[in-house]
Structure formats: C-alpha cells, structure tokens
Amino acid sequence: MAPAELRYDGQTVVVTGAGGGLGREYAIFFGSRGANVVVNDLGGSFKGEGGGSAAADKVVQEIRSAGGKAVPNYDSVENGDAIIKTAIDNFGRIDVLINNAGILRDVSFRNMKQQDWDLIYKVHVKGAYKCAHAAWPYFRKQKYGRLISTASAAGLFGSFGQTNYSAAKLALVGFTETLAKEGHKYNILCNVIAPIAASRMTETVMPPDVLEKLRPEWIVPLVAVLTHKSSDETGSIYEAGGGHIAKLRWERSKGALFKQDDSFTPGAVAAKWKEIVDFSDPEHPQGPANSMELLEAAAQLPPSPK
C-alpha cells in the first residue's frame, strides 16, 4: 500500500511534545488521516525551562481548522497518566503513542551538574515510561497498540557534550526492545526511531542550507508506516532524516571460545584478540537466548529443555 493511502480513522493517537518540531508534524499528519489526536506539550524552552499552553493550542487549532479532531494536553510527560487520561476522557480509547517530547542540556561531562543529568533522565526516560505504562493496560485489553519512542544518533553512537542525552536515548532502545517482547502476543508493536531533522533543537548547531534539507515532515512517513495497523514490525531501530530511512541491528563477531579450565587466562584472551574483534563472519543476535544457544552448541552449557 502506498503511504499516501494510510489512514487511522477511529483511532486515537497521543503525540507527546507535539507543540513544535517533529511532534507537530506527526500530530498534523495523524489529524489529517482520520485519527483523534491528543496534542501534548508542556510548552517550555528546549532546555526544559518554563511552560505554557500556547504551543499545544496552536497545533490543535491547525488540526481542527483542517477538519481534524484534536485536543490539547499541557502536562509534562512525567505525568503520563494525565496525558493518557486526556485521550480516554475525550475519545474513549488510545491506539498509538508517540513518545517524542524531549529537551537538551548539553554540557561537557566535566562540567555536568546533577540537575542536567536528572532533568534529561526525567523527561526522556521517565517520561516515556510513564506515558507507555499508562497506555499499556488499554493496549493489552484491546489487543492492539502501536508505540514509537524516540532515540537519537547521540545515543547510538555517542556525541560530545551529550552524556546525559546519549544515556537517556539509548535507554529507550532497551526499553523498546523489551516492550516489543512483552507486547507481541497482544499485537502491541514497539519500535524506536533515531531522527535527524531541522527543529529548534538542531537550528543552533547546523547551518541553514543543511537544515533546509532535513525537513521534520520527512520523518513522518516512517512513523506512519510503523504505527499503521498493517505493520508487523516490532523491536526495531530505525534512522531517518533528509529522505533516507534505514534499519539498524546488533552485530556480533563470531568471537573466540575458551576452554572452561586453567588455560582460560588473560594471556589466552590476548592471543585470540584478532578473532574476538573479527567482523568478517558476523552474527546478528536478537535476544539473550542467542548467546546461550551459542554456548550450548559448543557444549559449554548443558542443553536447555525443549
């Protein structure tokens, strides 16, 4: 099915941090494709200071004037229960949750203050947890849910001055991968995206000609496909930006096996170092069981009961 035909009629979509940037694009898209939209935004600065209702209200107005259905919510994602309650009170259900709200407190690790660390954790990790946890019982009961959380290249690869943000963003990968496993039998699909797009977050670090090629609306098609009822993708990581979309996965070198006896010494490890870091014949593990199977196959663990 072509992306232009994807619709969400009768579904309720909650988008956190939808007062601007990427969240606004998602909200407007879902509003234009038949969904009831909860436009959540605290309305503060990109550093997480201040707040207000204007940002969310403006997006709600945009959706309504285009004929869509939307309501605002001004809570911090730390109060995820209140955000999901807005969906239930107004539309009676929740089908899709986009954990998108975010802030930055960039500072070199040497100069990082406890508050910089804590605030980033609270908005990105605790916020995603609180919203997902409040939506989860509804997803389970109706045997349907679509959850997107927002990571970042900074989390996947590291980025100077962003230890707090990187840690929080990679936390959402583990969060998503576990939720995908727990949600699978209830048709709750959970994925994580690492976008790159022009927004107030990136406008101070990238030149205008680059930003023009990274329009936030170009992240929407990926989110639309992953949250559609026709999708069966779950537990995956995607990078998206500037018209490019790609999937990421873990890669493990074949590695080296050591006998479980006195010969397993640091010297033995050093001698096999090239084998340990050799990616010429890699594997792509998808769960902890894969590591156990490897040891079982090499008779380093007893076979697990079938």
What phi and psi values does residue 189 have, to the nearest 5 degrees?
A: -105, 130
By annotation, the residues acting in catalysis are: 165
CA distances from 91 to 13, 68, 302 (A): 10, 13, 53
- Which pair of tokens denotes residue 32? 């234009």
Chain residue at closest Cβ approach to ligand NAD: 21
Q: How far, in Å, CA of 17 to CA of 41, rounded?
A: 5
Contact indicator for 154, 240 with CB cutoff of 8 Å: no
Fill in the DSSP letter of residue 125: I
Distance of closest approach, residue 117 Cβ to ligand NAD, in angstroms = 16
Distance of closest approach, residue 250 Cβ to ligand NAD, in angstroms = 20
Distance of closest approach, residue 43 Cβ to ligand NAD, in angstroms = 5
Residues in touch with ligand NAD (CB under 6 A):
16-17, 19-23, 40-44, 46, 48, 55, 76-77, 100-103, 123, 127, 150, 152, 195-197, 199-202
Strand 145-150 to strand 36-40: parallel, antiparallel, or no bridges (unpaired)? unpaired
**CA angle, 82 as apex, 174 and 17 as ends, to 5°?**
60
Question: Which CB atom, from 144 or from 168, has the smaller least distance to ligand NAD?
Answer: 168
Distance of closest approach, residue 9 Cβ to ligand NAD, in angstroms = 26
Facing residues of 70 across strands?
A: 37
